[in-house]
A and B are shown apart, each in its own frame.
Chain A
């Protein structure tokens, strides 16, 4: 599907969610409760067939945390960005997308390590880069470390 066709398709099938345009991609904003359902639908529907999760990351929009999924289809070669916002900064929890894409295992480990977002139904959530005793989540904007960060 071309970019416009994809936009039309999403407007019809996911009319309850808002669509925006970034510089490169179409963005679909989904509440966190629906995220697994929507992604599953996007992956399994033969019209979209988003079978490749090429980037999953988080952005700290102080105070909310935002999760960004970059997905593409190896069949049609169209891309989409799906975003969701986690308001709870103290204890952010969201459903893992590991059942859809195995790649998510490592991506979500990294997000947990750097942003402190917990993923339910993840096979083995662990601090992948830092030690288990590390205090705080370094990529958050309010992270304090007087030794390592010199202003």
Chain B
């Protein structure tokens, strides 16, 4: 064995090598394959490979009626199913000039915000699990379960609700909806202290996230990032504030931004957003309107020829629906600009130069949902 002091730099040099993470990997949360070039432990390059769950939703929509194609969107970002349906419904209402009753608007917003809560709760649990803590996963699911039960009782489904339809909502909520939501919200609020105890104040978690995974404001804008990922880099991009829909402009809530740019900032933004969601729901429950919950529409819709675009804020960022209509009963072209597809670029931008273990922790805070990328 040669003495190490006699070796020069060239002899000590390591070689680059490529490893595959996924498509079946617990840290990618779905079937995403990432090809990572490593030099020792340092990440040199990242190349995502998509399409393992590509279902051709845009192509399928071209063969379906306007009302039918909405149901496919629940399967895109399955943790924001209500909000996806909401985007499509708003688009069709705008194009056809359909008025929505006040009660339906309030129900939609409550459902949207509850959905955001469930999504962030699941993210919180799985993010902690990626970093190595298993208990939070069960805590997150415990709280999420309460809201899912509420969805099940009122909409008939737990994951792919298909509840928000053009003209309002599928059917009216149960008579005790307001008190049920209040109970759930109170429970979620009191459970926040568990979140703080377990993770937010945790020494190890802070060390794994603070100062790791920088995404500058300029690159967040250039990459087209939206949602908590962009807001944690100081970009103001909350669609609920910029292009309010269904009465968000009448509500009092804050857009959470953070100039931190690191994984911790992304964690912080989501945690604060959950509190804002609760605040929004409480305001809506105070003046919950009476009346109709749906405008009756014709069985088959015809949208006037033209091009329409509608954006909403899902739990992960801006969902844009771009529709080209030729005046027939089916959309000529439907394009979903999904938040995860754009945020995926951030993985490559952030990951270069990180240690492989930090890459996993960073991907957890970007919160990718693979069916939303592949569609």
Residues of chain A at the chain B interface (Cβ within 8 Å):
22-25, 51-55, 57, 59-60, 68, 70, 74, 77, 101-103, 105-107, 110, 114, 124, 128-131, 138-139, 148-149, 151
Is there an interface contact between A102 and B95, defined as CB atoms closer than 8 Å?
Answer: no
Which chain B residues lie closer than 8 Å to A129 at the CB level?
50-51, 54, 374
Is there an interface contact between A60 and B333, defined as CB atoms closer than 8 Å?
Answer: yes
In the complex, whether B248 has a CB less than 8 A from a CB of chain A is no
The 9 closest A-B pairs by CB, nearest first: A103-B224, A129-B51, A55-B337, A129-B54, A102-B222, A57-B335, A22-B307, A24-B309, A59-B333
Is there an interface contact between A53 and B309, defined as CB atoms closer than 8 Å?
Answer: no
In the complex, whether B58 has a CB less than 8 A from a CB of chain A is yes
Is there an interface contact between B308 and A24, defined as CB atoms closer than 8 Å?
Answer: yes
Q: What does the 1/0 interface line of B302-323 toward A look like (CB < 8 Å)? A: 0000111100000000101010
Is there an interface contact between A103 and B59, defined as CB atoms closer than 8 Å?
Answer: no
Is there an interface contact between B341 and A106, defined as CB atoms closer than 8 Å?
Answer: yes
In the complex, whether B200 has a CB less than 8 A from a CB of chain A is no
Indicate which residue in B51, B224, B320, B349 contacts A52 across the interface (CB closer than 8 Å): B224
In the complex, whether B154 has a CB less than 8 A from a CB of chain A is no
Is there an interface contact between B242 and A53, defined as CB atoms closer than 8 Å?
Answer: no
The answer to whether residues A138 and B349 also contact, given A23-B306, A52-B224 and a CB cut-off of 8 A, is no
Q: Could you list 30 A-B pairs, sorted by A, with CB under 8 Å? A: A23-B94, A23-B306, A24-B309, A54-B226, A54-B318, A55-B320, A57-B322, A57-B337, A59-B324, A59-B333, A60-B333, A74-B235, A77-B242, A101-B222, A102-B219, A102-B222, A102-B223, A102-B224, A103-B223, A103-B342, A106-B341, A106-B344, A106-B345, A107-B224, A114-B58, A128-B50, A129-B50, A129-B54, A129-B374, A131-B51
Which chain B residues lie closer than 8 Å to A23 at the CB level?
94-95, 306-309
Known pairs A53-B224, A101-B224, A102-B224; list 17 more (Cβ under 8 Å).
A22-B306, A23-B306, A24-B307, A24-B308, A55-B335, A57-B337, A59-B333, A70-B309, A74-B235, A102-B345, A102-B349, A103-B224, A103-B342, A106-B345, A110-B341, A130-B54, A138-B56
Q: How far in angstroms is the closest Cβ of chain B from A55?
A: 4
Which chain A residues lie closer than 8 Å to B322 at the CB level?
55, 57, 68, 70
Indicate the size class of the contact surface on chain B. Answer: 35 or more
Q: Which residue of B lies closest to A25 (CB)?
A: B309
In the complex, whether B265 has a CB less than 8 A from a CB of chain A is no
CA distance A52 to B12 in the complex (A): 45
Residues of chain B at the chain A interface (Cβ within 8 Å):
47, 50-51, 54, 56, 58-59, 63, 94-95, 219, 221-224, 226, 235-237, 242, 306-309, 318, 320, 322, 324, 332-333, 335, 337, 341-342, 344-345, 349, 374
Q: How far in angstroms is the closest Cβ of chain A from B137?
A: 30
Which chain A residues lie closer than 8 Å to B341 at the CB level?
106, 110
CA distance A131 to B54 in the complex (A): 11
CA distance A70 to B318 in the complex (A): 13
Which chain B residues lie closer than 8 Å to A59 at the CB level?
324, 332-333
Is there an interface contact between A139 and B58, defined as CB atoms closer than 8 Å?
Answer: yes
CA distance A138 to B236 in the complex (A): 36
CA distance A124 to B48 in the complex (A): 12
Indicate which residue in A60, A74, A105, A124 contacts B237 across the interface (CB closer than 8 Å): A74
CA distance A84 to B318 in the complex (A): 25
Which chain B residues lie closer than 8 Å to A51 at the CB level?
221-222
CA distance A53 to B224 in the complex (A): 6
CA distance A147 to B326 in the complex (A): 27
The answer to whether residues A149 and B224 also contact, given A70-B320, A103-B345 and a CB cut-off of 8 A, is no
Q: Which residue of B lies closest to A57 (CB)?
A: B335
Which chain A residues lie closer than 8 Å to B223 at the CB level?
102-103
CA distance A101 to B221 in the complex (A): 8
CA distance A151 to B63 in the complex (A): 8
Which chain B residues lie closer than 8 Å to A54 at the CB level?
224, 226, 318, 320, 337, 342
Q: Which residue of A lies closest to B235 (CB)?
A: A74
Q: How far in angstroms is the closest Cβ of chain A from B343?
A: 10
CA distance A101 to B51 in the complex (A): 23
Which chain B residues lie closer than 8 Å to A148 at the CB level?
56
Which chain A residues lie closer than 8 Å to B242 at the CB level?
77
The answer to whether residues A74 and B63 also contact, given A22-B307, A24-B309, A102-B345 and a CB cut-off of 8 A, is no
